[in-house]
C-alpha cells in the first residue's frame, strides 16, 4: 500500500493536501472508505443538505432560528426536515405548542451529525490551500467591540496575518448564543453549565465609576461626591441601575431622584459625556483608551462599583488549528497588556 501525504493509508492515488487525521475510524479499511466515497457508497448517505438543516434545527431548537442561521425561510427548513424524515422512515421532530422539538433519538443523531460536520471542516481546512486566509467570526457587545476589542485588533493581525477577524455586534451583553460565530463574548462568569457544549473563559473584569469630559470638569469641577449636584446625569437603558449603584457607593442615595437624560445604548451615552452634555457612569477598563487619550476623565476614581465581567465562549468541537482557543488566549493576554490604540503607521 502506498504512503500518501495525508495521515491516512491510501491506494495508488496521492492526495494533494497537508496532514489530515481522521478520528474515530476503527480500521484501515474504514479509513479508506472515509476518504474515497464511490458513487455506490454515496447512495447510502442521507441527503447532505437536509442533514445540515436538521443539525442546525436540532441545535438551535427552532426552525425559525435555523432558517436565520442558514439564510432559509421557515418553510424551506420544514421541507428539508421532511426530506430527511422520509429518507429515515421516522419522525425527527414533534410539535409542542408552537415549536417543533427534536425527539430524544433525533437529538442523539444530531450530535453525531454535528461531530461529523466538525471533522469534515477540520479535514477541509487541512487540505485547503497553504497560506489561505482564514476568517474568524467574533460576536461581541457593541461597546466592548468599539472601545476595547477593535482598537487592539491591529496587534492580533500583525501576529496572525493569515487570519481575518470579522466582528459582529449584539445590542445587549446578555444576548443568547446563536449560530454563525466562532467566538462569542458575553457578560457572565466562567461557568460552563450556563453554555453547554462550549468552553467558557473569563476575559475582562468590569467596574463602574464616574466619567465626564475634561472640558466640563474645567468649567464645573467635581472634587467630591456632593459636587455632582447641578450636573445633568446621563444614563443608558442597557445599563439600568448604574446610577443607583454608584450613588449608594458614594453615600448619596438621597440624590437618586435627580433628573436624568436617558439614551438607549451606552455607546450613545458615552458620546454625550464626551461632548460635555453631562456626567455618566462608565466601565473600566473598557474606557481606558478614552481616558488615556484625554477624551474622558474619572473625577472620583476611588469610588468604584464591581460588575459582572466578560467571558469568551467557544465551541468544544471543530477548532481547526486551535484558531478559536488561540484567539481567546490572545484576548486574555491583552487584558494584561497596554491600552489599545492605532498602529504606529496610522498615528
Give the pLDDT of residue 5. 39
- Output the 3-class SS for 172-209: CCCCCCCCCCCEEEEECCCCCCCCCCEEEEEEEEEEEE
Mean pLDDT of 59-69: 86
Mean pLDDT of 192-217: 87
Separation CA 170–CA 184 (nearest Å): 10
Give all domains of the chain, ordered by start, each with its CATH number: 46-126 (1.10.10.10), 134-201+313-346 (3.40.190.10), 207-307 (3.40.190.10)
Give the pLDDT of residue 272. 96
Task: Say which range, 115-119, 148-152, 299-303, has the weakest mean pLDDT.
Answer: 115-119
Give the pLDDT of residue 10. 38
Give the pLDDT of residue 37. 42
Q: Determine what percent of the chain is predicted with pLDDT higher than 70.
A: 75
Task: Say which range, 13-27, 113-127, 193-207, 268-282, has the weakest mean pLDDT.
Answer: 13-27
pTM: predicted TM-score of the whole model, two decimal places = 0.61
Answer whether residue 3 shows pLDDT above 60. no
Answer whether residue 318 shows pLDDT above 50. yes
Answer whether residue 271 shows pLDDT above 90. yes
State whether residue 217 is helix, strand or coil: helix
Answer whether residue 268 shows pLDDT above 60. yes
Q: How confident is the model at residue 29 (pLDDT cuts 50, 70, 90)?
A: very low
Mean pLDDT of 229-252: 93
Give the pLDDT of residue 340. 53
pLDDT in tens, 5-27: 344 333 333 334 433 333 333 33
- Which residue did the predictor score with more confidence, 70 or 121? 70
Task: Say which range, 7-16, 183-192, 257-266, 270-279, has the weakest mean pLDDT.
Answer: 7-16
Give the pLDDT of residue 269. 95
Cis peptide before 236 (omega within 30 of 0): no
pLDDT in tens, 86-110: 999 999 999 888 888 899 999 899 8
Give the pLDDT of residue 282. 94
324: Cβ–Cβ under 8 A, 6 or more apart, which residues?
A: 136, 182, 183, 314, 315
Separation CA 4–CA 60 (nearest Å): 39
Q: How confident is the model at residue 181 (pLDDT cuts 50, 70, 90)?
A: confident
Contact 242, 236 (CB under 8 A): yes
Amino acid at each position: 500500500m502506498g504512503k500518501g501525504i495525508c495521515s491516512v493509508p491510501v491506494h495508488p492515488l496521492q492526495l494533494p493536501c497537508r496532514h489530515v487525521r481522521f478520528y474515530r475510524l476503527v480500521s484501515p479499511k474504514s479509513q479508506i472508505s472515509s476518504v474515497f466515497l464511490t458513487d455506490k457508497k454515496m447512495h447510502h448517505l442521507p441527503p447532505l443538505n437536509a442533514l445540515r438543516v436538521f443539525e442546525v434545527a436540532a441545535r438551535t431548537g427552532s426552525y425559525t432560528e435555523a432558517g436565520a442561521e442558514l439564510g432559509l425561510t421557515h418553510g424551506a427548513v420544514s421541507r428539508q426536515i421532511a426530506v430527511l424524515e422520509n429518507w429515515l422512515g421516522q419522525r425527527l421532530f414533534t410539535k409542542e405548542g408552537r415549536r417543533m422539538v427534536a425527539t430524544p433519538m433525533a437529538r442523539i443523531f444530531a450530535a453525531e451529525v454535528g461531530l461529523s460536520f466538525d471533522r469534515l471542516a477540520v479535514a477541509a481546512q487541512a487540505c485547503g490551500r497553504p497560506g489561505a486566509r482564514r476568517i474568524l467570526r467574533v460576536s461581541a457587545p457593541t461597546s466592548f467591540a468599539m472601545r476595547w476589542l477593535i482598537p487592539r485588533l491591529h496587534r492580533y493581525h500583525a501576529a496572525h496575518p493569515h487570519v481575518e477577524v470579522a466582528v459582529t455586534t449584539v445590542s445587549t451583553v446578555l444576548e443568547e448564543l446563536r449560530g454563525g460565530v466562532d467566538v462569542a463574548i458575553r457578560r457572565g462568569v466562567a461557568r460552563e453549565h450556563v453554555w453547554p457544549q462550549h468552553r467558557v473563559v473569563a476575559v475582562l473584569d468590569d467596574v463602574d465609576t464616574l466619567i465626564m469630559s475634561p472640558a466640563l470638569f474645567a468649567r464645573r469641577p467635581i472634587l467630591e461626591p456632593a459636587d455632582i449636584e447641578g450636573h445633568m446625569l446621563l444614563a443608558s437603558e442597557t445599563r439600568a441601575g448604574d446610577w443607583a449603584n454608584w450613588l449608594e457607593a458614594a453615600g448619596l442615595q438621597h440624590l437618586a431622584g435627580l433628573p436624568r437624560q436617558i439614551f438607549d445604548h451606552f455607546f450613545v451615552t458615552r458620546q454625550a459625556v464626551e461632548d460635555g452634555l453631562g456626567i455618566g457612569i462608565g466601565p473600566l477598563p473598557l474606557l481606558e483608551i478614552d481616558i488615556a487619550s484625554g477624551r474622558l476623565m474619572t473625577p472620583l476614581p476611588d469610588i468604584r462599583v464591581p460588575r459582572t465581567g466578560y467571558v469568551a465562549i467557544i465551541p468544544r468541537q471543530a477548532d481547526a488549528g486551535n484558531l478559536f482557543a488561540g484567539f481567546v488566549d490572545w484576548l486574555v493576554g491583552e487584558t494584561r497588556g497596554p491600552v489599545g490604540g492605532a498602529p504606529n503607521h496610522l498615528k
